[in-house]
Amino acid sequence: MLELLTHDLARATQVIAAGNLCVIPTETVYGLGADATNKDAVAQVFTAKGRPKDHPLIVHVANAEQSGEWFAQLPDWAIALGQEFWPGPLTLVSTRTELASDFVTGGQNTVAVRVPNHDLTSALLNQLLDTGTRGLVAPSANRFGHVSPTIATHALADLGDYLKAHNGCILDGGACALGVESTIVLAVDGRPQVLRPGGITRRMIREFTGLEIFNPADDAPRVPGALAAHYAPDAIVQLIEPTDQLECVDGQGVIAAKSVEISGNYVELARPTNDQEFAQSLYAALRSADDLGLTSVAVVLPGSDGLAEAIRDRLSRAAHTN
Ligand code: TXA
Ligand code: MG
């Protein structure tokens, strides 16, 4: 039996070409990759994750030009955004070509596309292009609703059994540099709408395009990552607005900036010195709370600007209990 974790691009290419699943590293989080034009392969993604069937997927392509095969039309500002920020943590959503089937878009008339920024995955996408594969769907490689994976062994823990039983593999590309999912921008008209905040911040988009950035309109497409409860560990997540001092319950896990003074008998999960480190360590810290069997985690929130918006967004969902 082959090991699930691999660095072997030829093997990953074969797995995808055979219609099976390969976990891919990206700069945001690990994704569960499948040929975006293969209906049975995409069906496996939903089964492996336990993801509801009507939730649309992001298509990952090798470069900005390649996105043109999937989009019927993109406003000029969105073309410019792609040229500026791809490869990178930006997903554009716009009207689709016939290459984007209902089984990828959840039946919506738009498709989501991004160019990930990771050497191994870029090489894989380029090799796949040579063999005629035009893109990979890749939702985060976790069981539905759980914390997204930022190292290969997180994906192994969530999906290893499925991948082993179905000839899949995990391309190990080390720790994800950014640590939170891409910014999703709806690009169907003159108004950029941020459907999910991420590493490309509102300010970056506003300053680059010179356009006002809108929040999703009431009729904007539904984003499952925007469900109230998502990204959640088993431990209870207690959110605390920014403060210099924190008093913990005995045995509680803590995620807080290094500058916060903490009292009490706590378990240190992450002490980032800035928002980049906060994002990068967040999901691993939430997973380690469960590995350590902690019942609750106190998180001192970062501010709300820039990358902190994405951190707060994910934490509010991780903290939500149904
Ligand atoms: O950083 C990322 O985006 C990661 C890595 C692996 O690339 N992927 C990721 O995929 O976060 P996933 O499936 O966990 O989240 C994809 C999001 C969903 O919330 C989905 O609803 C939204 O993209 N999406 C996909 N197609 C859409 C569409 N046509 N309209 C609106 N939202 C869409
Ligand atoms: Mg996800």
Sequential pLDDT tens for the chain (322 residues): 579 999 999 999 999 999 999 999 999 999 999 999 999 999 999 999 999 888 999 999 999 999 999 999 999 999 999 999 999 999 999 999 999 999 999 999 999 999 999 999 999 999 999 999 999 999 999 999 899 999 999 999 999 999 999 999 999 999 999 999 999 999 999 999 999 999 999 999 999 999 999 888 766 665 555 556 677 899 999 999 999 999 999 999 999 999 999 999 999 999 999 999 999 999 999 999 999 999 999 999 999 899 999 999 999 999 987 5
Residue in the structure block whose two tokens are 């997903």: 91
How far is ligand 2, taken at its centre, from the CA of residue 148, in Å? Answer: 6
Ligand nearest to the CA of 88: 1
- 8 Å CB contact between 300 and 242: yes
CA distance readout (Å), 199 to 188, 196, 313: 21, 10, 12
Model confidence pTM above 0.75 = yes
Ligand 1 close to Cβ of residue 55 (< 6 A): yes
CA distance readout (Å), 305 to 83, 203, 276: 24, 9, 12
- 8 Å CB contact between 33 and 16: yes
- Identify which of 24, 26, 181 to mutate to test ligand 1's pocket (most ligand atoms within 8 A of the CB): 181
Ligand nearest to the CA of 318: 2
Compute φ and ψ for 221, nearest 5 degrees.
Answer: -60, 145
Atom of ligand 1 nearest to the CA of 180: 1
Question: What is the Cα–Cα distance from 132 to 218, expressed in whole angstroms?
Answer: 38
- Identify which of 42, 184, 185, 193 to mutate to test ligand 1's pocket (most ligand atoms within 8 A of the CB): 184
Compute φ and ψ for 303, nearest 5 degrees.
Answer: -60, -150
Residue type, 245: Q
Classify each residue of 14-38 as buried b or exposed e, where b means 16 or more C-beta atoms within 10 Å of its C-beta. Answer: ebbbebbbbbbbbbbbbbbbbbbbb
